[in-house]
Amino acid sequence: MISFSQNQSIMNENFAIVIHGGAGTILKKNMTPAMEKAYQEKLQEALDSGYTILKNGGSAIDAVEKAILVMEDSPLFNAGKGAVYTNASTNELDASIMDGKTLNAGAVAGVSHIKNPIKLARVVMEKSEHIMLSGKGAEDFAKQHQLEMVDSAYFYNEHRLNQLNKIKKTEKIQLDHSDEKNQGDASAFKDSKFGTVGAVALDKHGNLAAATSTGGMTNKKFGRIGDSPIIGAGTYANNATCAVSCTGHGEFFIRNVVAYDVAALMEYKNMRLVDAANYVVKEKLVKLGGEGGLIAIDKHGNIAMPFNTKGMYRGYKKSSGESEILIFKN
Amino acid sequence: MISFSQNQSIMNENFAIVIHGGAGTILKKNMTPAMEKAYQEKLQEALDSGYTILKNGGSAIDAVEKAILVMEDSPLFNAGKGAVYTNASTNELDASIMDGKTLNAGAVAGVSHIKNPIKLARVVMEKSEHIMLSGKGAEDFAKQHQLEMVDSAYFYNEHRLNQLNKIKKTEKIQLDHSDEKNQGDASAFKDSKFGTVGAVALDKHGNLAAATSTGGMTNKKFGRIGDSPIIGAGTYANNATCAVSCTGHGEFFIRNVVAYDVAALMEYKNMRLVDAANYVVKEKLVKLGGEGGLIAIDKHGNIAMPFNTKGMYRGYKKSSGESEILIFKN
């Protein structure tokens, strides 16, 4: 009934990568030109690093991992190095990755001493019989597999600590991104702002992959797990349909099983990628009040980057030569 | 395009509840008559307790919670009192619940001192702004909300400890249920056996709900999270389509987004509940090698209980008077 054919033997020159660095109340008026340039340059670097892998015949899974690594190592995004603080002034990071060829996947939730959670998610996918590991147990697994561990000082970030302290005053759980320019203004936190980085890719072998990494919500408590490490909610890839990575108010993405929903609409309702993605983000999520966006790519290299917030850090690069980095609504 | 109409105003007399107590290599030849009777009686008690709530005009969410509570409090099932042991000889329990009327949901992962994880999942749904809480953080939340805490002695179970010790010798991660009769035989662990309890219900108000609770896998390590606490994978409910609770090899259920997939096939492909459930369990899961089963109910009170293992503890009770408790393949 449903075909998982992967066209592995057909080497095509049609490949592409799409990335995001979070969606939220991202407005040009709140951003300095220097800050805008910094985001554009880092997004370009992430995009180029993944694209180079694809161009050289590498796998979609390698490309998405590499693009995420670049963003995890930058303090600009709420993932890896730039992760926001929990209520306890710790950092608890989540990540997941899925291979559209095998439907295999790996995810980690609530890790505090892993430099690159996306690397750990990939090792979970490839070296464990599990999909999702959490907390200290996930870190024990990381040590066994020689992943780079860091102490909490690695995540030290005065800007993020200021975010936490301000929001603690307002006692409001807060999603990232802050308006960079308004960080001195507690009222700016009234806006929903989201972090999270993600990447999806189609390689020359016709394989799709998706990956997502996040530091979660500023001031989060109680070991909260959002959609980013949940296969089907924040991340999904299947060669038969598409690869998807989400960013936004995670609870709504979980309830709507957003990443898989895009694939299901394509597979079961024969919707085009862009229609399925738009329908989920701009109709279904909006109906429930769920803010955010997603990036998606299908097996033909069509892409979609819908969001229902003011902006979303995003970019794509296709083998056709088309490429763009975007931040605000067009 | 998609209707979330809930027929709340239409008070119908058509209501039903379906439960499961795990799927696996459950064979009549391996079970004593006394053990079979014990399971049948406990399943009947769980079914009746949920059904009574529905009959009295109560909500589907109350009915599924109550049915799960009865099974969590019994040592017969791998949930609550009867939870299996992790590699570290601890118990880490997971549970989730979803309300088909609001699409609200709650889940907990890796809790070790909560008597009834399903109660905590419900409190997460109703009293927090999050869907999923984990580990010690989830327990802190439980304490704030006065849930009954237990020390690890509550979960002490010689049979489960024997399971752990035997499997540690074979160094094989093991899914519950063991063949009760073969517990002295380490070779019995070669078979896949699954625990987990679940319930789905349709109430007189036309509302659907689903809930799942588990102790996970014997000898699990690294803070492994299975499908049971994952909305979309182990549990899903939507008044527009159906309510689903899964049991089986969790990793495959996560990769297939099983619970939501049944709903998506109904909504997007206009499949009947029984066809959608059978297709997911007997075709899609089998193709990937994923063992297990699920229970499901739709808004009309149609039910499905497919599994691709030797047996599944299961039962249903409908307002029409039909009721059955089943264990083996028919």
Find the catalytic residue in B25, B86, B90, B196.
Answer: B196
Q: What percent of chain B has pLDDT over 70?
A: 89
Q: What percent of chain B has pLDDT over 90?
A: 77
Question: Bridge partners of A149?
Answer: A114
* Out of A223, A236, A260, closest to residue B134 by CB: A223
Contacts of B110 in chain A (CB under 8 A): 134-135
CB contact under 8 A, B224 and A137: yes
Minimal C-alpha gap between A122 and chain B (Å): 15
Contacts of B287 in chain A (CB under 8 A): 4
Residue B1 has pLDDT above 60, yes or no: no
Residue B26 has pLDDT above 90, yes or no: no
Residue A310: its pLDDT value, please? 93
Report the residue of B268, B280, B288 to disrupt the A interface, i.e. the one with the largest count of A CBs within 10 Å.
B268
Q: Kindly report the average pLDDT of chain B as a whole number.
A: 90
Rounded to whole angstroms, the Cα distance separating A183 from A84 reads 14
With an 8 Å Cβ cutoff, is B287 touching chain A? yes
Rounded to whole angstroms, the Cα distance separating A281 from A271 reads 14
Catalytic annotation on B309?
no
Question: Among all residues of chain B, which has the CA nearest to that of A283?
Answer: B1
Residue B15 has pLDDT above 90, yes or no: yes
pLDDT-based confidence at residue B184 (cuts at 50, 70, 90):
very low
For domain A4-328, the CATH class is alpha beta
Determine the average pLDDT of the residues in A78-103: 94
Residue B205: its pLDDT value, please? 96
Q: Worst-scoring range by mean pLDDT, A162-171, A206-215, B97-106?
A: A162-171
Residue A319 has pLDDT above 90, yes or no: yes
Tell me the pLDDT tens digit for each residue of B41-64: 999 999 999 999 999 999 999 999
Residue B165: its pLDDT value, please? 86
CB contact under 8 A, A231 and B233: yes
Q: Worst-scoring range by mean pLDDT, A244-253, B141-150, B170-179?
A: B170-179
Rounded to whole angstroms, the Cα distance separating B304 from B64 reads 16
Minimal C-alpha gap between A61 and chain B (Å): 16
* Out of B134, B257, B260, closest to residue A134 by CB: B134
- C-alpha closest to that of B232 among B142, B294, B298: B294
CB contact under 8 A, A257 and B257: yes
Contacts of A223 in chain B (CB under 8 A): 133-138
Residue B13: its pLDDT value, please? 77
pLDDT-based confidence at residue B174 (cuts at 50, 70, 90):
low
Question: Among all residues of chain A, which has the CA nearest to that of B138?
Answer: A222
- C-alpha closest to that of B304 among B328, B268, B279: B279
Residue A2 has pLDDT above 50, yes or no: no
Structure token digits, residue A198 = 């993600």
- Could you report the predicted ipTM of this complex, rounded to two decimals? 0.91
CB contact under 8 A, A232 and B254: yes
For chain A, which residues make up each domain, given as ranges? 4-328
Contacts of A104 in chain B (CB under 8 A): 255
Rounded to whole angstroms, the Cα distance separating B216 from B94 reads 7
DSSP B6-52: --TT---S--EEEEEEEEES--GGGS-HHHHHHHHHHHHHHHHHHHH
Residue B175 has pLDDT above 60, yes or no: no
| Strand, helix or coil for residue B305 | coil
Contacts of B132 in chain A (CB under 8 A): 224-226, 230, 254
Cα B142 from chain centre: 21
CB contact under 8 A, B231 and A132: no
pLDDT-based confidence at residue A241 (cuts at 50, 70, 90):
very high
Q: Worst-scoring range by mean pLDDT, A145-154, B180-189, B319-328?
A: B180-189
Rounded to whole angstroms, the Cα distance separating A52 from A324 reads 16
Residue A217: its pLDDT value, please? 84
Residue A187 has pLDDT above 50, yes or no: no
Structure token digits, residue A245 = 């990575």
pTM for this entry: 0.92
Report the residue of B103, B217, B257 to disrupt the A interface, i.e. the one with the largest count of A CBs within 10 Å.
B257
Q: What percent of chain A has pLDDT over 70?
A: 89
Determine the average pLDDT of the residues in A146-175: 83
Note whether B19 and B314 are within 8 A (CB): yes
CB contact under 8 A, B224 and A134: yes
With an 8 Å Cβ cutoff, is A141 touching chain B? yes
With an 8 Å Cβ cutoff, is A302 touching chain B? no
Contacts of B90 in chain A (CB under 8 A): none
DSSP B127-141: HSS-SEEEHHHHHHH
Question: Among all residues of chain A, which has the CA nearest to that of B129?
Answer: A251
Tell me the pLDDT tens digit for each residue of A255-283: 999 999 999 999 999 999 999 999 999 99
CB contact under 8 A, A254 and B223: no
- For chain A positions 99-118, those within 8 Å of chain B (CB to CB) are 103-105, 109-110
pLDDT-based confidence at residue A4 (cuts at 50, 70, 90):
very low
Structure token digits, residue B321 = 């008077």
With an 8 Å Cβ cutoff, is B51 touching chain A? no
Q: Which residue has the higher pLDDT, A131 or B179?
A: A131
Tell me the pLDDT tens digit for each residue of B63-112: 999 999 999 999 999 999 999 888 888 999 999 999 999 999 999 999 99
Residue A235: its pLDDT value, please? 98
Structure token digits, residue A41 = 């340059």
Q: Which residue has the higher pLDDT, A83 or B65?
A: B65
**Residue B68: HSE in the Cβ half-sphere, 13 Å Cα cutoff:** 35
With an 8 Å Cβ cutoff, is B240 touching chain A? no
Q: What b-and-e string marks burial along A3-20, b requiring 16 or more CB atoms within 10 Å of the CB?
A: eeebeeeeeeeebbbbbb
Note whether A133 and B223 are within 8 A (CB): yes
Residue B10: its pLDDT value, please? 53
